Amino acid sequence: MAVSTTGAGPADPAARRAPLDAVPSPALVLGAVASVQIGASLAKSLFDDVGPGGTVLLRVLLAAVLLCLIWRPSARGLTRSQLMLVLGYGVALAGMNFAFYAALDRIPLGVAVTLEFVGPLGVAVAGSRRALDLLWVVLAAGGILLLADLGGDDSDAAGVALALLAGGFWAAYILIAARAGAAFAGGSGLAVAMVVAGAVLLPFGIADGGAELLEPGVLAVGAGVAILSSAVPYSLELEALRRLPARVFGVLMSLEPGMAALAGFVVLGEALGTREVIAIGLVVVASAGAARTAERAPPARD
C-alpha cells in the first residue's frame, strides 16, 4: 500500500519510512486480527437493517472500490488462464464471506470464526504424513464437535453448517490466492477478484437489503466494515509478512478464534459457556501447532 511522503523529497530515506516501521511485527499481526474481528462485530450490527446478504455486499463492494483506487488494475491483456484464475478467486471470496456472514446471523462470532478455521487448518495439514500433524487434526476435530454440540438443545445446525462451508471456501481461497499472487503484480489480482465477488453477491445483497442499502447511515457503517475488515488488516499483514517468518505469522494468526470470542463478548455482549471456551482453545492450539510445523503459513483472508 502506498505511503504518503508529503512534505519531504522523494529521495529522503526518512521520508520513505512508513509509520508502521516502529511497530513490533507481532503487534502488527495482532492488530490485523483485532481489526478483522471488530469489523465483523460492526457488520453484525447491520443485520437488522440489510441482513447478512446486504452487509456482505456493502463490505465487498466498498473494499473493491478501495482496492481498485490503490492498485488501479486493468482487465486488458489478461490471458485466458489469468481470467479463469481471477474468476475463481472472486467466487471463493464471495462464497467465503457470504457463508460466514450467514453463519454469523445464527451463531456467536467466536464460534463462527472457530468453525471457519477448519479451512486454513485443513490446508496446513493436507497431505502430511507426520504423526504430529495428526494430533492437530484430532484436537481441532474435538473442538469442532464440542462447538457443534451434536444433539444438544442449544446447537444451531444451519449456523454450524454455514460456518464450516465458509471454512471450505477459505481453503479454496488460500489455494487460489497463492497462484494469483504469482500471476498478478501487487494486489491487482485481489482488486479484480473483489470486483468479481461483488458482482456475484449483487443479487443476494439486493434481495436481502433492498433500498436500505442506500441509506447514508448504513453506507457509513458499511464503509467502516470495509476498512476494518479489509483495508486495515491487509496493510498490517503485508508489513508483518515482510519481517516475520511465515511460521511465526501463521502461529499469530491462529489466535483469531480467541480474538473473535473476545470481540463478540466486548462489542456484541456474546458470552460463551465453558464448553465453547474449551472448544475454541482446542482449535487455537491445533491451528497454532499446524502453522508452526507447516512448510509455510497460508495467506490470510482479504
pLDDT tens for residues 199-253? Answer: 999 999 999 999 999 999 999 999 999 999 987 887 787 678 778 877 777 788 8
- Report whether 239 contacts 261 (CB < 8 A): no
Contact 286, 120 (CB under 8 A): no
Using CB atoms within 10 A of its CB, is residue 183 exposed (0-12), middle (13-18) or buried (19+)? middle
Residue 16, in any domain of the structure = no
pLDDT of residue 10: 46
Look at the block and give the residue holding cell 455482549.
Answer: 269
d(CA 84, CA 90): 10
CA dist., res. 221 & res. 128, Å (int): 43
Confidence band of 127 (pLDDT split at 50, 70, 90): low
CA 61 – CA 84 distance, rounded (Å): 20
In the Cβ-directed half-sphere of 120, how many Cα atoms lie within 13 Å?
Answer: 31
Judge contact between 266 and 40, C-beta under 8 A.
no
Percent of the chain at pLDDT exceeding 90: 50
pLDDT band at 18 (very low <50, low <70, confident <90, very high): low
- Asked if residue 299 belongs to a domain, the reply is no
Any domain includes 19: no
90 inside domain: yes
Q: CA torsion angle for 285, 151, 98, 186 (degrees, to 10)?
A: 20
Closest CA to 143 of 121, 169, 158: 121
Highest mean pLDDT among 82-91, 150-159, 229-238, 290-299: 82-91
Where does the pLDDT of residue 270 fall: very low under 50, low under 70, confident under 90, or very high at 90 and above? very high
pLDDT tens, residue by residue, 46-74: 999 999 999 999 999 999 998 899 888 88
Domain membership of residue 246 as a residue range? 25-293
Is 164 inside a domain boundary?
Answer: yes
- What's the mean pLDDT in 244-270? 88
pLDDT value for 1: 35
Q: Which amino acid is at 167?
A: G
Q: How confident is the model at residue 277 (pLDDT cuts 50, 70, 90)?
A: very high
3-state helix, strand, coil in the chain (%, to 5): 80, 0, 20
Number of domains comprising the chain? 1
pLDDT given for residue 230 in this prediction = 80
Outline where DSSP puts E strands in 18-136: none
Q: Where does residue 295 rank: exposed (0-12), middle (13-18), buried (19+ CB within 10 A)? A: exposed
> In the prediction, which pLDDT does 101 show?
97
Place of cell 470486483: 195
d(CA 11, CA 235): 23
- Predicted local confidence at residue 78, as pLDDT: 85
Average pLDDT along the chain: 85
Examine the pLDDT at 84 and tell me if it is beyond 70. Answer: yes
Quick one: pLDDT band at residue 24, thresholds 50, 70, 90? Answer: confident
> For residues 111 and 277, what is the distance between their CA atoms, to the nearest angstrom?
9
**Alpha carbon distance 181, 297 (integer Å):** 14
pTM of this structure: 0.84
pLDDT score for 7 = 43
Residue 300 lies in a domain: no
> 11 lies in a domain?
no
Q: Is residue 269 part of a domain?
A: yes
As a whole number of Å, the end-to-end CA separation of the chain is 14
Sign of CA dihedral 81, 193, 249, 142: negative
What's the confidence (pLDDT) of residue 2? 38
Average pLDDT over residues 168-186: 86
Per-residue cell: 72: 488501479
The mean per-residue pLDDT over the stretch 256-284 comes to 93
Give the pLDDT confidence score for residue 184 in this predicted structure.
85
List helix spans (H) across 117-213.
Answer: 118-125, 131-148, 157-183, 188-209
Whether the per-residue pLDDT at 295 is higher than 70: the answer is: no
